[in-house]
Structure 1
Amino acid sequence: MREKFDQVKGGFIGIAYGDAFGMPAEMWSRELIQKKLGYIKTFLPGHPDNRISAGFAKGEVTDDTINSILVTEMLSENGGRVDAQVFIKKLRYWMKHSDKSSAVVGPSTAKALELIEAGTPMEEAGSTGTTNGAAMKIVPIGLLAGYNCKEEVDSCHLLHQVIELCRPTHFTSCAISAACAIAAGAAAAVHGEKDLSKIYEYMTEMAEKGSAYGNSIGSPSVACRMKMARHFTEQEPQKALKDIYDYVGTGISSAESIPAAAALFYLSEGDPAVCAEYAANIGGDTDTIAAMACGICGAYKGAESFKTEDIELLERTNAISFTELTEKLLGNTPC
Structure 2
Amino acid sequence: MNGKDDRVKGAFIGIAYGDAFGMPAEMWSRKTIQEKLGHIRSFLPGHPDNKISSGFAKGEVTDDTINSILVTEMLSENGGCVDAQVFVKKLRYWIKHSEKSSAVVGPSTAKALELIEAGIPMEEAGREGTTNGAAMKIIPIGLLAGYNMKKEINSEHLLHEVLELCRPTHYTSCAISAACAIAAGAAAAVHGEKDLRKIYEYMMGMAEKGNEYGNPVGSPSIVCRMKMARYFVELDPEKALKNIYDYVGTGISAAESIPAAAALFYMSKGDPVLCAEYAANIGGDTDTIAAMACGICGAYKGAEGFKKVDVELLERTNTISFAELTEKLLADTSYIL
User: TM-score range with shorter-chain normalisation?
Assistant: over 0.9
Alignment of 1:264-283 (within 5 A): 264-283=264-283
Matched residue, 1:179? 179
Alignment of 1:49-68 (within 5 A): 49-68=49-68
Matched residue, 1:153? 153
1:112 correspondence with 2:121: no
The one-letter code matched in structure 2 to 1:295 is G
Matched residue, 1:123? 123
Q: Distance in 1 between matches of 2:281 and 2:138?
A: 23
Q: Distance in 1 between matches of 2:199 and 2:232?
A: 17
| Cα offsets for 1:196-250 (capped at 9, x unmatched) | 0000000000000000000000000001100000000010111000000000000
Q: Residue 201 of structure 2: SS of its match in structure 1?
A: helix
Matched residue, 1:37? 37
Q: Distance in 2 between matches of 1:199 and 1:324?
A: 27
Q: Distance in 2 between matches of 1:223 and 1:210?
A: 10
Q: Distance in 2 between matches of 1:273 and 1:236?
A: 18
CA deviation after TM superposition for structure 1 residue 333, in Å = 3.1
1:71 correspondence with 2:99: no
Q: Distance in 2 between matches of 1:272 and 1:282?
A: 15
Matched residue, 1:219? 219
Matched residue, 2:298? 298
Q: Distance in 2 between matches of 1:232 and 1:204?
A: 16
Matched residue, 2:330? 330
Tell whether the 8 Å contact from 2:44 to 2:59 is kept in structure 1 after alignment.
Answer: yes
Q: Distance in 2 between matches of 1:204 and 1:235?
A: 21
Matched residue, 2:194? 194
Q: Distance in 2 between matches of 1:251 and 1:262?
A: 14
Q: Distance in 2 between matches of 1:333 and 1:234?
A: 38
Alignment of 1:218-297 (within 5 A): 218-297=218-297
Tell whether the 8 Å contact from 2:122 to 2:167 is kept in structure 1 after alignment.
Answer: yes
The one-letter code matched in structure 1 to 2:255 is A
Q: Using structure 1 for the length normalisation, give the TM-score.
A: 0.99
The one-letter code matched in structure 2 to 1:14 is G
Matched residue, 1:26? 26
CA RMSD of aligned residues (A): 0.7
1:85 correspondence with 2:85: yes
Q: Distance in 1 between matches of 2:75 and 2:173?
A: 23
Q: Distance in 2 between matches of 1:205 and 1:315?
A: 35
The one-letter code matched in structure 1 to 2:47 is H
CA deviation after TM superposition for structure 1 residue 161, in Å = 0.3
Tell whether the 8 Å contact from 2:144 to 2:333 is kept in structure 1 after alignment.
Answer: no
Q: Residue 129 of structure 2: SS of its match in structure 1?
A: coil
Unaligned runs of 5+ in 2: none
CA deviation after TM superposition for structure 1 residue 312, in Å = 0.1
The one-letter code matched in structure 1 to 2:90 is K
CA deviation after TM superposition for structure 1 residue 150, in Å = 1.5
Identity of aligned residues (%): 83
The one-letter code matched in structure 1 to 2:188 is A
CA deviation after TM superposition for structure 1 residue 148, in Å = 2.0
CA deviation after TM superposition for structure 1 residue 129, in Å = 0.1
Matched residue, 1:139? 139
Unaligned runs of 5+ in 1: none
Q: Distance in 1 between matches of 2:326 and 2:21?
A: 21
Tell whether the 8 Å contact from 2:125 to 2:168 is kept in structure 1 after alignment.
Answer: yes
Q: Distance in 2 between matches of 1:304 and 1:35?
A: 34
Q: Using structure 2 for the length normalisation, give the TM-score.
A: 0.99
CA deviation after TM superposition for structure 1 residue 149, in Å = 1.3
Q: Distance in 1 between matches of 2:108 and 2:305?
A: 34
Matched residue, 2:5? 5
Q: Distance in 1 between matches of 2:112 and 2:219?
A: 19
Q: Distance in 2 between matches of 1:172 and 1:305?
A: 35
The one-letter code matched in structure 2 to 1:91 is L
